[in-house]
Amino acid sequence: MTTDLQTILESKRRYRQRLAARPIVEKLRMLDALRERALLLRPAPSSVVREESTSNHADKIRP
Amino acid sequence: MNIQQVIRTINQMHADGIIESYAIGGAVGATFHLEPVSTLDVDIFVSFRPEPGSLLISPQPIYNYLTARGCATDGEYIIIAGWPVQFLPPTGALVEEALTKAVVYDVAGVPARVFTAEYLAAIALETGRAKDKARLLQFIESGILDASTFKDILTRHALTGQWAQFERQFLSDNL
């Protein structure tokens, strides 16, 4: 344990790098798990929480 | 809930001629380059085929195809393997170019077409919301962007002004 902010930030950076370097199959499984957890934590009437959409573009298409 | 199944379904749509080409964008696309980026939906950018006898492009064949295979819809989303998926047309020259330059990754034997890191970063800069800026910072801090390619994209798509502003706002103290 340390309380030195620079050490903490560097540790976080290294952890993110290790995660980024994981095989893509493993990272996609993590996305599945992260979404399931997010839905559990923030139940909504629909499975889709539009205001939390992470899409880059606002002009979504509709059929 | 299985995002790999989403990718397999999109590939099958391409093989069946429903879409011409596609690329995964948004947070899922970013996850191919960065650490996993939590998200609630999947953004698939597609080139739509014009309807027969029409010059207009339409996402209707996509929805018809997927609903015929048991996928539910929810507003502008279609649910594939438990994931809300949005199909997005290229909204400008940058995204159109990004689609043509997308790269194929191997996901346990399944090909997945994904925007390159440089295009995802440029799209984030162009879109410009707070979370897009956060993602752009992630790309920069990761050190994976090819600086020459990224700057070239910014120059050709008139994004150098936005980049200068972003640098002033977020990078001036860190460089």
> pLDDT tens for residues B24-55?
999 999 999 999 988 999 999 998 766 666 65
pLDDT at position B1 is: 75
Nearest partner of A61 among B122, B141, B105, B73, judged by Cα: B73
First-to-last C-alpha distance (Å) of chain B: 41
Q: What is the mean pLDDT of residues A32-48?
A: 79
Name the average pLDDT for chain B: 93
Determine the number of helices (DSSP H) and then strands (DSSP E) in chain B: 8, 7
pLDDT at position A62 is: 45
Backbone phi, then psi, for B153, in 5-degree steps? -60, -45
Looking at beta carbons, which residues of chain A come within 8 Å of B87?
61
Does residue B87 contact residue B46 with C-beta atoms inside 8 Å?
yes
Q: In the structure encoding, which two tokens stand for residue B74, read together?
A: 């929810």
Q: Does B162 touch chain A (CB under 8 A)?
A: no
pLDDT at position A45 is: 63
Q: What is the mean pLDDT of residues B147-153?
A: 98
pLDDT greater than 80 at residue A44: no
pLDDT at position A46 is: 57
Which of these ranges, A48-52, B9-13, B82-86, B143-147, has the smallest mean pLDDT? A48-52
Provide the whole-model pTM.
Answer: 0.86
Residues B48-87: pLDDT tens digits?
A: 766 666 656 678 899 999 999 999 999 999 999 999 999 9
Distance CA B22, CA B11 (A): 9
- The reply to whether residue B91 touches residue A59, judged by beta carbons under 8 angstroms, is yes
Q: Does A9 touch chain B (CB under 8 A)?
A: no
Distance CA B98, CA B43 (A): 14
Q: Does A24 touch chain B (CB under 8 A)?
A: yes
* DSSP class of B19: E
Which of these ranges, A35-39, A58-62, B113-117, B156-160, has the smallest mean pLDDT? A58-62
